């Protein structure tokens, strides 16, 4: 008498799920908020955005009487309030790279693309989640920085400026937008390189190494080229005034946005062409 092995039957689910963009968005948001580096990087970014200007304002206020006229002229209240933006961008950029590269380093990206075979919705969801949370956190941070530094500098009327003054509100809010765009640019670099150290090094090279290297060029070349670098162009969106060799806020914003769109387009192209 022979026994016939029976194949176990997997019960069918009563309902089946479809891969929709809202579900991909929720999935990426779950991954984004559950990683420890997210809270640390955003926390450091907010701390630098607020803390550095407070320190700068306190030092300026306490030493105002001993400063030379030249030093006083160089202390703009708006520059003091937004001093943390240029520092915080590194922490935000590191997080932007990690959001993408961490999945490649752990190999979990294979599971992600198995669930979402079209791949591009994953990239769009990561970008959208990151843009929303970074902007939601950075807008209050720059507003707190502005009003707190103004309170510290209240003893000096020359350093007082109203948020309703022409261009002030635009500069403060665009400081938050700039940090968000830096993060999106860094995310695209992380997707292109697919390596955490490589993505961070590439970002640092573009934003912190390349601009000083321009000073090795002849002055006329430096003046013509430097204003179109991503960091120099991007910072114009939260600058109140622009010099003869810098772009206007609108032009600088458009140039920096073009860099971000180009980097994201390259990342999307490589995401479809490469094997995991």
Q: What is the pTM of this model?
A: 0.89
Mean pLDDT of 268-273: 92
Q: Is the pLDDT of residue 158 over 60?
A: yes
- In contact, 240 and 171? CB cutoff 8 Å: yes
Tell me the Cα Rg of the chain. 24
- In contact, 168 and 240? CB cutoff 8 Å: yes
Question: Given pLDDT bands bounded at 50, 70 and 90, which one contains residue 57?
Answer: very high
What percentage of the chain has pLDDT greater than the value 70?
93
| Residue extents of the structural domains in the chain | 21-273
Q: Angle at the Cα of 173 (from 171 to 178), degrees rounded to 5?
A: 85
- Residue 255: partners with Cβ closer than 8 Å, 6 or more residues away: 228, 230, 233, 234, 247
- In contact, 161 and 77? CB cutoff 8 Å: yes
How confident is the model at residue 128, as a pLDDT?
Answer: 95
Quick: pLDDT tens for 197-211. 999 999 999 999 999
Question: Given pLDDT bands bounded at 50, 70 and 90, which one contains residue 1?
Answer: very low
Question: Given pLDDT bands bounded at 50, 70 and 90, which one contains residue 59?
Answer: very high
H or E element, residue 31: helix 21-34
In whole angstroms, give the CA distance from residue 170 to residue 239. 9
Burial of 236 (0-12, 13-18, 19+ CB in 10 A): buried
Q: Is the pLDDT of residue 63 over 60?
A: yes
Nearest residue to 174 via CA among 81, 276, 47 = 81
In whole angstroms, give the CA distance from residue 205 to residue 157. 40
Q: Is the pLDDT of residue 60 over 60?
A: yes
How confident is the model at residue 35, as a pLDDT?
Answer: 80
- Average pLDDT over the chain, rounded to an integer: 89
């Amino acid at each position: 008498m022979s026994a016939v092995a029976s194949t176990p039957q997997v019960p069918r689910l009563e309902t089946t799920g479809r891969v929709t963009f809202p579900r991909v968005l929720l999935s990426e948001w779950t991954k984004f908020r559950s990683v420890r580096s997210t809270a640390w990087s955003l926390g450091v970014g907010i701390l630098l955005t607020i803390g550095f200007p407070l320190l700068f304002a306190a030092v300026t206020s306490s030493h105002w009487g001993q400063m030379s006229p030249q030093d006083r002229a160089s202390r703009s209240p708006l520059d003091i309030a937004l001093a943390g933006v240029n520092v915080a961008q590194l922490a935000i950029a590191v997080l932007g790279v990690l959001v993408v590269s961490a999945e490649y380093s752990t190999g979990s990206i294979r599971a992600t693309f198995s669930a979402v075979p079209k791949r591009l919705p994953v990239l769009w969801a990561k970008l959208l989640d990151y843009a929303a949370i970074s902007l939601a956190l950075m807008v209050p941070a720059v507003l707190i920085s502005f009003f707190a530094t103004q309170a510290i500098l209240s003893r000096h009327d020359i350093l007082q400026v109203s948020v309703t003054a022409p261009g002030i509100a635009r500069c403060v809010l665009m400081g938050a937008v700039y940090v968000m765009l830096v993060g999106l640019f860094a995310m695209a670099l992380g997707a292109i390189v697919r390596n955490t150290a490589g993505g961070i090094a590439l970002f640092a090279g573009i934003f912190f190494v390349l601009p000083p290297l321009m000073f090795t060029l002849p002055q006329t070349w430096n003046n013509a080229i430097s204003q179109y670098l991503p960091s120099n162009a991007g910072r114009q969106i939260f600058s109140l005034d622009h010099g003869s060799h810098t772009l206007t806020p609108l032009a600088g914003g458009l140039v920096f946005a073009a860099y971000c769109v180009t980097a994201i387009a390259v990342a999307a192209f490589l995401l479809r062409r490469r094997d995991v």
